[in-house]
A and B are shown apart, each in its own frame.
Chain A
Amino acid sequence: MAVCHKAARPLARCMQTSQPPCFSARSIRQFTTTSRRDGEVATVPETEPIVYDPATVTSRKGEKALMKSGVMPIGSRRRRAALKSSGNLPFEQLPYQCFQEALKIFRTDREEKLKQIQTERLRISNLEAQDASNVKGGEVQKQRRLVSMRSHLEYLKIQADINDPLIKKRFEDGEGDMNKPIYRYMAEKQWRKYQQLLIAQRIDQFNIVPDVLPHFEPTADVRLAFKQRSVQHGEYVDSRVSEVPLRLKVQVFDKGERLVSIVVIDSDVPVSEEDNFTSRCHFLATNIPLSPTITSIPISQLPKESIALPWMPPFAQKGSPYHRYSVFVLQQQPGETLDAAQLKEAVQRDGFRLRSFKDKYKLDPIGMSIFRSTWDEGTAGVMQRAGIEGADIEFKRKRVEALKPKQKARGWEARHSSAKYRQLWR
């Protein structure tokens, strides 16, 4: 019994001293005698319409309100809840231990690479300042060493940035500044993974290489479009679509601005007299500026001085097999400009040979794309509008008679179908 009392005493004290909050509130509150009606008119509390942030809205009501106002909430609901509760840290400060250690490793490596870049730059400048007679191997060896040192410097520049997740993200989002070597490097790597293989396959499939040029290795990414319709490499393009001049998007991966020429060649113009095909130039333009950041070349908006041969719409006469139209981007020698008016006189549309053209004007093909064209319902109209004759010509294959005699009919029925076997007829 005594034990119970001992146990109960602190409990009793606890119950006596503590007051339930509801009682205490009632005892504290003042009792007003006047009624509210006698006082001021109670104003409806003005609640401002709550402005929801599209990045952090989590409630269904908030989402509906945002969507009604025309703004879409950004990301998934989980993402928005995470952003709301996390304090909006920038990516590289996220408190994941392994990630932070990885960033630490990356940062120390970057410091080392920057030091190496500095020493390499110093070495290059020292070697350049050296007289060729002091260098072992003379001028030739000096230049070779400089070339390899410069390529090593480029390698170090890439290695300093390649492990950075923010740079990777920026590149993947398409916000990379193409003037920086790391973004150019990543763009080239992405191009070589698929698109370069694709264009190389098309060049091989359509025999561009022996027909138009003896050797060609693309080093720039060339994409075509007619108005808003993009063209895959080798795609059939309707003649009405290709009536307007095309738009080019060329991405080069080495730094610096350069001038390019653009040529559009039809490789399959039929020549019925020779039973063969010849080529024709549909478009020629020169002195077009191009750089890693200037990628868009709309032909219809080029200045008149650049265009040597204006756009002739592609047409394939009836009966001829599909025509291959190759669009070549040729880089001019640094500092050299070509005279478009002189080219207009010198270059013939029919029988155009890209080999001799590029050798004569010292051009270097860096990229190409290709599309095809056949006879369709609109070709006649296109030719008539462009003032090209020959829409009423239909090409037909010459029938070649075989030298060997026609094969006799096989089978019992065939052999016994003549009048001699009348009695055997069914």
Chain B
Amino acid sequence: MAVKMPSHTSITRLLSPLVNSFRTVSLNPSASLAKPSTIRSFSTSSTHLAPPNKNAKQADPRISLIRYHMQHPKTPRPLKLSRMRALRHWTIHRAWMLARRKRKEAEENELQRMYQSMHSACEELRLMDPPGSKDAGRLYRIAMEKKGIFGHGGVPIEYARAQTDTPAKEPWNHEWTR
């Protein structure tokens, strides 16, 4: 099978001979390494010519694939941290989570502040004139109009791309120009 093999990556390992053999289904435990004993008859022909042994237990291909990838020399070994090292790791992890949370809360508070200031400004407008007068709430109603907020005859930019359950790998091309 003519497969282009770049440097060892996980993709390469996916196209490993082991995976290829799964397509042909049959997995015969080859006795190619068995030493010919003095009792058994000695054959000079290749072992590949022998018919496959039907009684041999079929190894589960999923298990052998997992073991292949676990025992591969390029697979990184599991980390074992000493006590002090683990404590430092824990501290750094917690500090990172804390920093992220603080940042998120600050952003949310800022948004809340902006929204509330806008809301109170609109309330001010609404209550500017006493109720019952000719111009009561006029400026407020003008402020609530949404005519032409997307330009002349325009639509929101969100209409340009429909949301899907399975978006593309590159969902939005930020570098697009006309």
Question: Nearest Cβ in chain A — how far from B87, in angstroms?
Answer: 5
Contact between chains at A101 and B95 (CB < 8 Å): yes
CA distance A169 to B82 in the complex (A): 13
A99 x B98 contact (CB < 8 A): no
Nearest B residue to A78 via CB reads B82
B74-120 interface with A by 8 A CB criterion: 82-84, 87-88, 90-92, 94-96, 98-99, 102
**Inter-chain contacts of B94 with A (CB < 8 A):** 102, 106, 163
Question: How many Å from the CB of A170 to the closest CB on chain B?
Answer: 11
Q: From A90-98, A132-140, A313-321, A399-407, give the one contacting chain B.
A: A90-98
The docked-state distance in angstroms from the alpha carbon of A169 to that of B91 is 11
Q: A101-B95, A109-B98 are in contact. Are A168 and B90 (CB under 8 A)?
A: yes
How many interface residues does chain A have, given as a range? 10 to 19
A98/B87 in contact, CB under 8 A = no
Give min CB distance, A367 to chain B, whole Å. Answer: 30
B-binding residues in A (CB < 8 A) = 79, 91, 94, 96, 98-99, 101-103, 105-106, 109, 163, 165, 168-169
Residues of B within 8 A of A101 (CB): 95
Residues of B within 8 A of A (CB-CB), count: 14
- When distances are taken between beta carbons in the complex, the residues of chain B under 8 Å from A169 are 83, 87
Chain A residue contacts of B90, Cβ below 8 A: 165, 168
CB neighbours (8 Å) of B98 from chain A are 105-106, 109, 163
Q: Which residue of B lies closest to A105 (CB)?
A: B95
If the complex has contacts A102-B94, A163-B94, are A96 and B88 also in contact, measured as CB distance less than 8 A? Answer: yes
Contact across chains for B95 and A165 when beta carbons are under 8 A apart: no
Q: Is B99 touching A165 in the complex (CB atoms < 8 A)?
A: no
- Please measure, in the bound complex, the distance between the C-alpha atom of A105 and the C-alpha atom of B90, giving whole angstroms: 14
CA gap between A163 and B83 in the complex, in Å: 16
Name which of B84, B90, B92, B102 has the most chain A CB atoms within 10 A of its CB: B92
CA distance A173 to B8 in the complex (A): 45
Q: Which residues of chain B are within 8 angstroms of A105 by Cβ–Cβ distance?
A: 95, 98-99
A-B contact pairs, 16 of them (CB 8 A): A94-B84, A94-B88, A102-B92, A102-B94, A102-B96, A103-B95, A105-B95, A105-B99, A106-B91, A106-B95, A109-B98, A163-B98, A165-B91, A168-B87, A168-B90, A169-B87
User: Are A102 and B95 neighbours in the complex by a CB distance under 8 Å?
Assistant: yes
**Complex Cα gap A269–B94 (Å):** 54
In the complex, A234→B72 CA distance in Å?
47
Q: Give A94 to B96 CA distance when docked, in angstroms.
A: 18
Instruction: Name the CB-closest residue of B to A102.
Output: B95
Find residues 41-98 in chain B having any chain A CB closer than 8 Å to their own CB: 82-84, 87-88, 90-92, 94-96, 98
Chain A residue nearest to B101 (CB atoms) is: A109
Chain A residue contacts of B83, Cβ below 8 A: 169
B84, A99: Cβ atoms closer than 8 Å: no
Q: Within the complex, what minimum Cβ distance (angstroms) separates B5 from chain A?
A: 38
- The minimal Cβ–Cβ distance linking A142 to chain B, given in whole angstroms, is 29
- Given A94-B84, A102-B94, A102-B95, 11 more A-B residue pairs with CB atoms under 8 Å apart are A79-B82, A91-B84, A99-B91, A99-B92, A101-B95, A102-B91, A102-B92, A163-B91, A163-B98, A165-B91, A169-B87
B95 surroundings in chain A (CB, below 8 A) = 101-103, 105-106, 163
Q: Which residue of chain B has its CB nearest to the CB of A91? A: B84
Q: In the complex where A98-B92, A102-B94 touch, is A91 in contact with B87 (Cβ < 8 A)?
A: yes
Q: Which residues of A contact B92 (CB under 8 A)?
A: 98-99, 102
- Report the bound CA distance from A103 to B94 in whole Å: 10
Contact residues in A for B91 (Cβ distance below 8 Å): 99, 102-103, 106, 163, 165
Q: Which of A96, A99, A103 is packed against the most chain B CB atoms within 10 Å?
A: A99
CA distance in complex: A102, B82 (Å)? 19
Q: Which residues of B contact A103 (CB under 8 A)?
A: 91, 95
Question: Which A residues lie within 8 Å of B87 (CB)?
Answer: 91, 165, 168-169
* B88 CB, nearest partner CB in chain A, Å: 5
CA A105 to CA B99, docked complex, whole Å: 7
The 10 closest A-B pairs by CB, nearest first: A102-B95, A105-B95, A102-B92, A165-B91, A165-B87, A99-B88, A163-B94, A102-B91, A98-B92, A106-B95
- The answer for the CA separation of A101 and B91 in the assembled complex, in Å, is 10
A168 CB to closest chain B CB (Å) equals 7
Enumerate chain B residues within 8 angstroms of A79, measured Cβ to Cβ.
82
Q: Which residue, A101, A102, A103, A109, has most C-beta atoms of chain B within 10 A?
A: A102
